[in-house]
Amino acid sequence: MSPERTASLSHFVFMPLPNFTLIAFSNAVEVLRMANYLSGQTLYRWTLVSPEGGPVRTSNGLSVDTLPADSVTAADIVFVCGGIDVQRVTTPQHLSVLRRFSRSGITLGSLCTGTYALARAGLLSGYACSIHWENLSALREEFPGTRFLKELFVIDRDRVTCTGGIAPLDMMLNLIAARVGTARITQIAEQFVVEHVRDPNAQQRMPLVARLGCANKSLFEVIALMENNIEEPLSREELARLAGMSQRQLQRLFREHLGMTPTHYYLTLRLRRSRELLLQTDMSIMHITMACGFQSACHFSKSYRDAYGSAPTRERRRQAAPLEETPQPQPGETLDAAA
């Protein structure tokens, strides 16, 4: 998107899906509010819509009021806001609304898992995009015509996609910079006690140095090899050779820093990937077995059950339970659920 195009953005429309995450939505809207506040004028306005209008529940049990999408006659950009259970809560009505906005030439965007709705509507074919890291593997399998990147947010022509959490704050600050200027961006960041505004090249998920509690370059290289070779796992001998060390050194490296063997760590990576595919796609268990480098469904099932306490088939049946059976918080109550 050109600076001229981003500078012209003033009316932002947000379409929250049921169970959307409030933190991602709030971080996006608060940047617009603060820009108006500090400038002393209404530079930006925003509207919340849904297919039929009315309240939409967030993942933490609160609700927001929305207008019918048909009531919006003009918008500069429309963000679909996702959260948990995005595959099940995205309805044909949501997809129809997004396609209508697209036909009108409106720039489309997403927050958190809202990227799934854009992809499902066929509006990301040939585009690069971003989505929360938990959904990356599954959506790469489901939508091969779309490039899912690890960046916090991606601006590709008339598509603006972003991960969840606080990333929409960085995305929105970058998006409005062409209009308000860098000095105002700094002021907004200071108001939110943000020391550094991340750019589009910043990648999501904790870096290995934070996840593993160490900064051993050789260890990072081996883990990167593992993560890039899930479907056809490398042998211990191949890992050692590619990392330029002996197998004994490789064993000692993982024992010292992670308290486990390279084989065990590799297995946890593959099982984590398999769980993402099992819970977030309709791929068959046999397809998942092969995609995660297991030689047989029996081996995969046993390894999965040992790691997660439930067989893949049982996990899939539990995931397929109707959404309405999921307990919903009543006013004043909370449920233990991922945001």
Contact yes or no for 208/258 (Cβ under 8 A)? no
Rounded-to-integer distance, Cα 95 and Cα 125, Å: 15
Using the 8-state DSSP alphabet, how is residue 310 labeled?
A: S
Band of the pLDDT at 334, cuts 50, 70, 90? Answer: very low
Beta bridge partners of 107: 77
Cα–Cα distances (Å) from 8 to 77, 153, 165, 177, 214, in that order, read 10, 20, 26, 11, 45
The per-residue pLDDT for range 16-35, each reduced to its tens digit, is: 999 999 999 999 999 999 99
The contacts found for 317-321 with CB under 8 angstroms, 24 or more apart, are 319/278, 319/279
For domain 3-191, is the CATH number 3.40.30.10? Answer: no
- What average pLDDT score do residues 270-276 get? 87
Band of the pLDDT at 200, cuts 50, 70, 90? Answer: confident
Work out the number of other CB atoms within 10 angstroms of the CB of residue 286.
12
Instruction: Supply the pLDDT for residue 327.
Output: 44
More confident call, 73 vs 60: 60
Encoding tokens for residue 194? Answer: 């943000």
Contact yes or no for 165/22 (Cβ under 8 A)? no
pLDDT at 323 over 50: no
Please state which of the four CATH numbers 1.10.1750.10, 1.10.10.60, 1.10.3470.10, 1.10.260.40 is assigned to the domain occupying 208-319. Answer: 1.10.10.60
Contact yes or no for 110/80 (Cβ under 8 A)? yes
pLDDT at 126 over 50: yes
Residue type, 308: Y
Band of the pLDDT at 156, cuts 50, 70, 90? Answer: very high
Band of the pLDDT at 247, cuts 50, 70, 90? Answer: very high
Q: What angle do CA 329, 95, 69 make, to 5 degrees?
A: 75
Beta bridge partners of 57: 63
Helix (H), strand (E) counts: the chain? 16, 10
Rounded-to-integer distance, Cα 124 and Cα 161, Å: 10
Contact yes or no for 108/158 (Cβ under 8 A)? yes
Q: Domain-by-domain residue ranges, the chain?
A: 3-191, 208-319
Exposure of 155 by Cβ count < 10 A (0-12 exposed, 13-18 middle, 19+ buried)? buried
Instruction: Supply the pLDDT for residue 198.
Output: 78
157 phi-psi bin (left φ>0, alpha ψ -120 to 50, beta other): left
Residue type, 41: Q
Q: How many residues does the chain have?
A: 339
SS3 track for 118-185: HHHCCCCCCCEEECCHHHHHHHHHHCCCCEEECECEEEECCEEEECCCCHHHHHHHHHHHHHHCHHHH
